Structure 1
Amino acid sequence: MKEIKILCVYDGYITKDIMSGMKELEKFGAHITMINDDQIKNVGDVTNRMLLLEQKGIAEAPTCRTLLENCSDKEILVVHCTSVNKEILEACSKLQAVVVLRGGIENVDSSELAKRQIPLMNASLRSADAVSDAAVGMMIAENKNIARSHHYMKEGRWVKSYINQRYIRNMNKCTVGLIGYGAIGSRVAKKLKGFESQILVYDPFVSKEQIEKDGVKVVELDQLLETSDFVSVHLRLSDKTKKFMGKREFAQMKKTAYFINTARAGLVDTEALTDALKNREIGGAAIDVFDQEPLPKGHPYLNLENVTLTSHLAGTSSDTPVVSVEIGVQKLKDYLTRMAEEDNEED
């Protein structure tokens, strides 16, 4: 079997020990080299890099010099949040494939890869369980005032009546509208079935037949917004989905409905959401992602009574880094097996 050179870039989140799982590919003829991206030392660096990529694009993200110095003879690159930009690609004369060990691919110049006809693989399901767990938890926390009550009790206050007192609901009496039905949205639906919630779905990128196989109802966006007690967004951020939720959409929601965002800040017009909450046009919100992170002092969200905030934690799980590498290993096993079969056919 022909040896193929794979360069794996670990960091402070997917550590060297976890990335070592890639050595399983040596059974498939791979020679594994591992290097460190010392610009990404911890989870905070990861979220900062993701926000930079989301807001300013791959061209603004720094090049990992260690990667640049070690990539020229490698045929496959495996990265987490490290940039695979045009500078890196120009240095990789033998590159055959790129693997990103996260759901998004913003840290790769995908258009440049496409020009070079180099396949890109990612760990699209790596955070699906963590984020879907968080989305359901955020619904319950906002509806049942869990975070607010905890905060008041820390202050020595025993509060029994809240701003949403007249519309605190049982989940089995609620309709939950899911905007987006990919890996995360579909898992949210599955978990909500255990609560006996009615589930509505709007996703212009997934076929009605595929969604309805799971026993949920597909509706148009207007109907979802007008009838749901919770609206949870699970779209990928793109030019088509930027500020998908704006003034018009919040105005269509019930005055008692909750908006949940564990996806991307850019999907939401922050000013429109702030106004909707402040003016009680919607019942409340639970938000994990923000246009600016950390959330700055004086941000209007911090003065609202009808919002639950978490510090970009939805995808955080000790299982996620290991799962990321497991997915990457499996995808590369499949890739290397196909390559070996094609080589045998040519022989």
Structure 2
Amino acid sequence: MTFKDKDVWGEIKMTKTKILCVADGGITRDLMQQMHELEQYNADVTIIEDKEMYAMGPITDRMLLIEHNGVDAAPTCRELLENCADKDILVVHVASINKEIINACKNLKVAAVLRGGYENADVAALTEKNIKLINAPWRSANAVADFTVGMMIAENKNIARSHKLIFEGKWCKKYVNQEYIHDMRAMTAGIIGFGYIGQRVAERLKGFGTKVVVYDPYIDKSKFANSGVEFMELDQLLETADFVSVHLRLSEKTHHFIGAEELQKMKKTAYLINTARSGLVDTAALVTSLRNKDIGGAAIDVYDEEPLPKNHPYLQLNNITLTSHLAGTSCDTMKNSVEIGVEDLKRYLTGKSMLNVRN
């Protein structure tokens, strides 16, 4: 999107669209360099760094803080605040686009958050000022889908448990789920939430011959008529599936979407898989269900508190596989983020509708 102005001679000239990009330890300055491609569309791209978010450790902590307490819980990136006043477009990874930033911007038209979520942007404040918000919704979809299927297999086949026991000098051939270890082709996977990740999980499971059933009341089911999946109501899915895998966005409506009532409806031999958000599952209810063997097991990558405390009840169970919030980890995720952002901003600069608008 370009804007016409007149110079001192009265001639029409094109004013460049000013874009400010905030690199960090995840999306580095080198990766953010791809944003300079936008300069061929009469844009002026500036890249700064959020020095507090220098590595994935602080970034993960910041994401978790915002997820649990909202965008205002995180401090404002000073570099962003000091450089944003005259910019038309802001591009961030985990730096917050909060009210302080929004109010400091005099010309802002687009805010781009290069993440699958956009919790670090104040959506209401952006919407109030008619500033478009875009994100990179499928940046880690392939990584998470791969990981989710891996967690299913690891829990069903006791891969992680066997690994741990061998390091402890134990050669175990019989596990708590011995009576219901099945081939993937003999199992049914229930996917709750059929967005970018859920769809990719289904694609991967087809290669194993696994039957896939889906619950998602918000999608147009007609678009998936030939996808090979079967849509069900939630209760039916819970009663049918050998794996119940949650792929919803966390919100007030989906908080503790899987609780005691839902766990009671699952098969006693079924596994719960959560590689999405910890808040989607009632942790206390899951612990009780696993301890009482009301379900077969679980595989969990996300937690209400991270790192997982040493006294956490999960660590007392023998029917759970735990990983340290790794599902989205891939050398390709950050690169994908920038590519998705660049393509949508190209559309904006050439007068086309952006694909990933969230408000």
The bucket for the TM-score relative to the shorter chain is: over 0.9
Amino acid at match of 1:192: L
Task: Report the AA paired with residue 70 of structure 1.
Answer: N
Q: Distance between the aligned counterparts of 2:283 and 2:181, measured in 1?
A: 25
Structure 1 residue runs of 4+, over 2 Å off? 210-213
Q: In structure 1, what is the equivalent of residue 7 of structure 2? A: none
Match of 2:260 among 230, 242, 247: 247
1:163 pairs, out of 176, 186, 189, with 176
Give the deviation of 1:214 after TM superposition: 1.4
Deviations 1:62-101 (A, max 9, x none): 1001100000011100000110000000000110101110
- Could you tell me which residue of structure 2 aligns to residue 266 of structure 1? 279
Query: Could you tell me which residue of structure 2 aligns to residue 96 of structure 1?
Result: 109
CA-based RMSD of the aligned residues comes to 1.1
- Which residue in 1 is equivalent to 2:203? 190
The code of the aligned residue for 1:3 comes to K
Please, which moves more after superposition, 173-182 or 24-33? 24-33
Tell whether 2:91 aligns with 1:78. yes
SS in 1 for 2:169: coil
Which position in structure 2 is the counterpart of 1:67? 80
Residue 305 of structure 1 corresponds to 318
- Match 1:293 to one of 282, 301, 306: 306
Asked if structure 2 preserves the Cα contact closer than 8 Å seen for 1:5 and 1:73, the reply is yes
Q: Pick from 118, 129, 132: which aligns with 1:119?
A: 132
* Equivalent of 1:129 in 142, 146, 168: 142
Is the CA contact 1:212–1:218 (under 8 Å) kept in the aligned structure 2? no
Aligned equivalents of 2:296 and 2:344: distance in 1?
A: 43
Q: What displacement does 1:42 show?
A: 1.3
Partner AA of 2:78 in structure 1: R
Among 350, 354, 357, the alignment partner of 1:337 is 350
1:30 corresponds to which of 43, 53, 59? 43
The separation in 2 between residues aligned to 1:229 and 1:52, in whole angstroms, is 33
User: 1:7 & 1:227 partners in 2: Cα distance?
Assistant: 50
- Deviation, 1:58, is 0.8
Residue ranges of structure 1 left out of the alignment (5+ in a row)? 341-347
For the pair 1:138 / 2:112, whether they are aligned, the reply is no
- Matches of 2:226 and 2:126, distance apart in 1: 35
Pick one of 192, 206, 209 that aligns with 2:219: 206
> How big is the shift at 1:212?
3.2
Q: Is the 8 A contact 1:99 1:120 kept in 2?
A: yes
Query: Which among 231, 246, 268 is matched to residue 233 of structure 1?
Result: 246
Deviations 1:172-200 (A, max 9, x none): 00000000000000000010000001110
1:39 corresponds to: 52
Deviation of residue 2 (structure 1)?
Answer: 3.6
- Contact 1:58-1:108 within 8 A present in 2 as well: yes
Q: Write the letter of the residue equivalent to 1:232.
A: S
Q: CA deviation at 1:103?
A: 0.7
CA distance in structure 2 between the aligned counterparts of 1:161 and 1:277, rounded to whole angstroms = 18
Letter in 2 for 1:90: N
1:320 corresponds to which residue?
Answer: 333
Distance 1:190 1:82 in 2: 34
1:148 counterpart (161, 164, 169): 161
The alignment partner of 1:120 has SS state of strand
1:38 Cα deviation from its structure 2 partner: 1.2
Of residues 176-185 and 213-222 in structure 1, the stretch that sits farther from structure 2 once superposed is 213-222
Cα offset, 1:211, TM superposition: 3.4
Structure 1 residue 39 displacement after superposition: 1.6
Q: Higher helix proportion, which one?
A: 1
- Measured in 2, the distance between the counterparts of 1:155 and 1:267 equals 33
Is contact 1:202-1:221 (8 Å) kept? yes
| Corresponding residue SS for 1:106 | coil
Q: How much has 1:339 moved relative to structure 2? A: 7.0
1:210 positional shift: 2.5
Asked whether the 8 Å contact 1:97–1:119 carries over to 2, the reply is: yes
Q: Secondary structure at the match of 1:296?
A: coil
Q: CA distance change for structure 1 residues 2 and 45 in 2, over 3 Å: closer, same or farther? A: same
Aligned partners of 2:109 and 2:176: how far apart in 1? 57
Q: Residue 312 of structure 2 aligns to which amino acid in structure 1?
A: H
Q: Which amino acid aligns with 1:60?
A: A
Match of 1:11 in 2: 24
Measure the CA separation in 2 of the matches of 1:128 and 1:39. 27
Q: How many residues align?
A: 340
What is the CA distance between 1:277 and its match in structure 2?
Answer: 0.5
Quick check: 1:211–1:218 contact (8 Å CA) kept in 2?
Answer: no
Deviation at 1:3, TM superposition (A): 1.0
Q: Distance in 1 between matches of 2:341 and 2:122?
A: 19
Task: Report the TM-score when normalising by structure 2.
Answer: 0.93
**3-state SS of paired residue (1:338):** coil
SS at match of 1:172: helix
AA of the residue aligned to 2:119 = E
